[in-house]
Amino acid sequence: MDKEFVVNDVHQTCHIIVVGAGIGGLTLALGLAKQGHQVRIFEQTKTLSEVGAGLQLSANSMKVMRSLGIDNALKTHHFAPQNACIRDYRSGRYYLKSALGKTAQTRYGAPYWHVHRADLHSILVQQCYANGVEIELNHRVMGYRNTKQNVTVLLEGKTEQADLLIGADGIHSKVRELMLGIEAPFFTGQVAWRGTVRADDIKHINVKPDATVWAGPNQHLVTYYLRGGELVNFVAVEERAEWLQESWRTEGNVNELQQKFAGWHPEVTEVLAACDKTFLWALNGRPTLTRWSDQRVVLLGDACHPMLPFMAQGASMAIEDAYVLAQLLTKYHYSDAYQKYEALRKPRTTQIQQMSRDNASLYHMHGGLAGQLKLNALSLVSRYAKGIVDSKLDQVYGYDVTSLPL
Ligand SMILES: Cc1cc2nc3c(=O)[nH]c(=O)nc-3n(C[C@H](O)[C@H](O)[C@H](O)COP(=O)(O)OP(=O)(O)OC[C@H]3O[C@@H](n4cnc5c(N)ncnc54)[C@H](O)[C@@H]3O)c2cc1C
């Protein structure tokens, strides 16, 4: 066992490099810094700019935000949806209406909030700086080499050393590629458009204060408020045979988007009519990885378990990962910590990946009439056997990673 790591529960700090200043990398860096580790993040982008749109921070990830002491900072920017709903794309009929709002707090032990990714990102960045994390922008990680004493990280133009290296570098993870070989992510046959509109511009249609999935044939669209109700966020998903290069910054054609959803319920068409800018990206996946670590190097978040956004759990899973890894690295030698981390997180993230895939078929009414019948059955179950729906949601939102005996 290396000298610099934990012996008999004595906490020793180490020098850790995190690749990627996304939600996962920043949450991890903050958690590690709070435990006394020396943390440096290398991020490939030149600036930490305002990118992205809405993210759902469900009760399970809000428990981590609370344990890191940033729930209050988020409060200024959040919107708490009253219900999680699935509605018919044309009639607006409810197939599911499950209470959130105050119920989330009492049932799941923490609130369920919507936040703008840029707000969450900037709070995490501020907190990282306040806790001594160094963030080096415009630094792309190109390679790594494990040695007995440390890990050497290769960046464009320089090398750095650390005790440990953590790849939180997203679905196109370079660290994953170096660890497991080149394997392009596969296209799931779906693309997503996202954007926000000012709530004041669509006052006349009275968008409900819910997280609403509008389910339709081979397409669906999600609407919810952000920033205390100032913005309405949408994510529109459609099935396509063609492959698109995945980027979070590819601008989409607003007219094309409006046409795709023409004839849908007015809450959908009016939101899209008010939109003047949209971004489009391909939804990609990866087969389950054979392992998540290689000696001193480990993966986190989308780098090891990207998922379709149909459970709205991508950010929450990266946040849960970050909590677990920061705690384990403080208690155990890194090789035990990595082993325990993968053993705990793989089943959980695999289950959520599967639930997300299942929702794709439900939201898109796959199977024509059979798909419609499935939604009707859900409607009956949610009305007359609510316990079945609740128990499924309890597994996701009721999970409390901060109270696990790690
Ligand atoms: C720009 C952006 C906008 C997004 N917008 C939304 C949104 O609107 N709604 C939503 O639900 N989700 C959005 N997401 C996705 C969501 O944040 C993630 O799916 C989820 O939070 C898991 O995050 P992650 O930290 O694992 O990966 P990511 O959020 O993808 O972060 C990975 C980070 O690693 C950096 N990186 C990658 N390769 C390297 C390298 N070789 N060297 C150094 N740095 C590297 C990337 O630039 C990025 O900052 C967005 C992600 C990004 C990157």
196-220 residue pLDDT tens: 999 999 999 989 999 999 999 999 9
Ligand 1 centroid – CA 288 distance (Å): 19
Is residue 193 in contact with ligand 1, taking CB distance under 6 Å? Answer: no
What's the pLDDT tens digit per position in 114-148?
999 999 999 999 999 999 999 999 999 999 999 99
Q: Which of 224, 323, 341, 397 is labelled catalytic?
A: 224
Q: How many Å lie between the centroid of ligand 1 and the Cα of residue 303?
A: 9
Q: What is the pLDDT of residue 289?
A: 94
Going by CA atoms, what residue is nearest to atom 19 of ligand 1? 314
Decide if 341 is catalytic.
Answer: no
Distance (Å) from CA 369 to ligand 1 centroid: 37
Q: What is the residue with the minimal CA distance to atom 20 of ligand 1?
A: 315
What's the CA-to-centroid distance between 23 and ligand 1, angstroms?
A: 7
CB of 194 within 6 A of ligand 1: the answer is yes
Cβ 170 under 6 angstroms from ligand 1? yes
Mean residue pLDDT of the chain comes to: 92
Q: How far is the CA of 265 from the centre of ligand 1 (A)?
A: 32
> Would you state the pLDDT for residue 8?
36
The closest residue, in CA terms, to atom 12 on ligand 1 is: 55
Question: Candidates 117, 172, 345: which one to mutate for ligand 1, based on the most atoms within 8 Å of Cβ?
Answer: 117
Residue ranges in the chain whose pLDDT is less than 70: 1-12, 50, 243-247
Q: Which atom of ligand 1 is nearest to the CA of 27?
A: 25
pLDDT value, residue 245: 66
What local confidence, expressed as pLDDT, does residue 3 receive? 40
What pLDDT does residue 144 have? 98
Q: Where are the domains of the chain?
A: 15-184+286-401
Position 392 scores a pLDDT of: 85
Any ligand 1 atom below 6 A from CB of 42: yes
Query: How many angstroms does the Cα of residue 346 sit away from the middle of ligand 1?
Result: 20
Instruction: Name the residue of 248, 308, 349 to mutate for ligand 1: max ligand atoms within 8 A of Cβ.
Output: 248
Q: Which two tokens stand for residue 134?
A: 């160094």
pLDDT value of position 12 = 65
CB-ligand 1 contact for 401 (6 Å cutoff): no
- Please report the atom of ligand 1 found closest to the CA of residue 142: 41
Class of domain 15-184+286-401 as given by CATH: alpha beta
Pocket test for ligand 1, best of 30, 41, 43 (most atoms within 8 A of CB): 43
CB-ligand 1 contact for 314 (6 Å cutoff): yes
Q: Note the pLDDT of residue 352.
A: 96
**Is the beta carbon of 55 within 6 A of some atom in ligand 1?**
yes
The CA 117 to ligand 1 mean position distance, Å, reads 10
